Amino acid sequence: MSSFIRHRRLRSNDSIRRMVREHQVQVDDLIYPLFVVEGENVKNEIPSMPGVYHFSLDRLNEEIDEVVELGIPSIIVFGVPAEKDECGSQADHDHGIVQKAIRQIKENHPSLYVIADTCLCQFTSHGHCGIVENGEILNDPSLERLASTAIAQAQAGADMIAPSNMMDGFVYAIRQGLDEAGFEHIPILSYAVKYASAFYGPFRDAAHSTPQFGDRRSYQMDPANAREAIREAASDVAEGADLLMVKPGLAYLDVIYRVRERFDLPIVAYHVSGEYSMVKAAALNDWVDEEKVVMETMIGFKRAGADLILTYYAKEIAKWLQGGK
Ligand code: PBG
């Protein structure tokens, strides 16, 4: 009997390392976010997110074709409207930018799985995710607007509704609204556990959704809390969520793990804008090996218990996965 344990036996060459590998990242895990804007011939890079663009509808097809070509099964659509108002009327307008984009995408690529982000902050003049009165973000009046936005997205052809607003009861209200409108077959991916995070900074540049007063801490979660994540997820499961999202990703791997331990629903990790921008900036300076750092992050999400990963890196990951075969 040997006097110590030889772990290195199972690491000695690539074949055995492949054989005992516990987790994999596959192209099927990826959800690619897209920003659509009004206007013509727009493909503008977002300054704080090199490699990520605003697309007008007439330039969108080239991007979607590439996503499909790469075998990425799913996208999530974020819309930046030309006009905003107090109640975010473009959010649920039949000709709102998101609805138009979804129709166009589904027409060209019926089998690409299209997820709609359901929130009001890109559409409201105050930049909050709900209805505001006297400087307060009101919960219950927001639910009706959110349900009606989800219905408009489903009518446009969205395959899945992903509400990110963090009002109480949003899954309940949206599920009811969808069911009454005949969309009982459309699943809800709830941003169940969403923290009030500084990592959303570049997204707010991209979506023009920075709150015009105050911050989101009265509805998004305190980064100090983990047990509260279980309460948030439990209520969304009870209200009818089909998948659960944890957001941001990397600073919250423990939360993904805890949610995985408690719930059997598929879990999505959102690798958010700030996480993308930090690695991109370091990579552009040649300070890190971009592919290795990104793939290590992705495997971290899988190891923590995520089934799916929403990431601005999806196209690059898909290419790296092909190259690695
Ligand atoms: C809107 C929303 C946000 C993100 C996705 N949906 C931003 C926010 O709460 O301000 C952030 C995504 C990212 O940073 O990549 N509610």
Neighbours of 20 (CB within 10 A): 9
Q: For residue 88, which of 144, 16, 30 has the smallest C-alpha distance? A: 144
Cα of 43 vs centre of ligand 1, distance in Å, is: 21
User: What share of residues in the chain are helix, strand, coil (percent, to 5)?
Assistant: 45, 20, 35
Cα of 1 vs centre of ligand 1, distance in Å, is: 56
Residue 87 labelled as part of a binding site: no
C-beta 119 within 6 A of ligand 1: yes
Please name each of the domains of the chain with its CATH number. 23-322 (3.20.20.70)
**83-98 pLDDT per residue, tens:** 999 999 999 999 999 9
C-beta 273 within 6 A of ligand 1: yes
C-beta 116 within 6 A of ligand 1: no
Q: DSSP labels for 248-293?
A: SSGGGHHHHHHHHHH--S-EEEEE-HHHHHHHHHHHHTTSS-HHHH
User: What is the residue-averaged pLDDT of the chain?
Assistant: 96
Question: Under a CB-based contact definition with an 8 Å cutoff, are residues 202 and 49 in contact?
Answer: yes
pLDDT of amino acid 207: 87
Neighbours of 223 (CB within 10 A): 16
* Average confidence (pLDDT) over 149-169: 97
* Average confidence (pLDDT) over 58-81: 97
Put simply, whether the predicted model's pTM sits higher than 0.85 gets the answer yes
Round to whole Å and give the CA distance between 87 and 77: 20
Q: Hey, is 193 helix, strand or coil?
A: strand
**Is residue 79 predicted with pLDDT exceeding 80?**
yes
Question: Under a CB-based contact definition with an 8 Å cutoff, are residues 181 and 161 in contact?
Answer: no
**260-272 pLDDT per residue, tens:** 999 999 999 999 9
Question: Under a CB-based contact definition with an 8 Å cutoff, are residues 273 and 200 in contact?
Answer: yes
Q: Hey, is 182 helix, strand or coil?
A: coil
pLDDT of amino acid 324: 65
**4-51 pLDDT per residue, tens:** 999 999 999 999 999 999 999 999 999 999 999 999 999 999 999 999
pLDDT of amino acid 205: 87
C-beta 204 within 6 A of ligand 1: yes
Cα torsion angle, 128, 133, 135, 141, sign: negative
**Is residue 161 predicted with pLDDT exceeding 90?**
yes
**Is residue 325 predicted with pLDDT exceeding 90?**
no
At what angle are helices 57-69 and 97-108 packed, to 10 degrees? 50
Question: Under a CB-based contact definition with an 8 Å cutoff, are residues 138 and 131 in contact?
Answer: yes
- What share of the chain has pLDDT > 90, as a percent? 97
Round to whole Å and give the CA distance between 98 and 102: 6
pLDDT of amino acid 10: 98
Q: Which of 194, 280, 302, 315 is catalytic?
A: 194
Residue 312 labelled as part of a binding site: yes
**181-228 pLDDT per residue, tens:** 999 999 999 999 999 999 999 999 888 899 999 999 999 999 999 999
Residue 22 labelled as part of a binding site: no
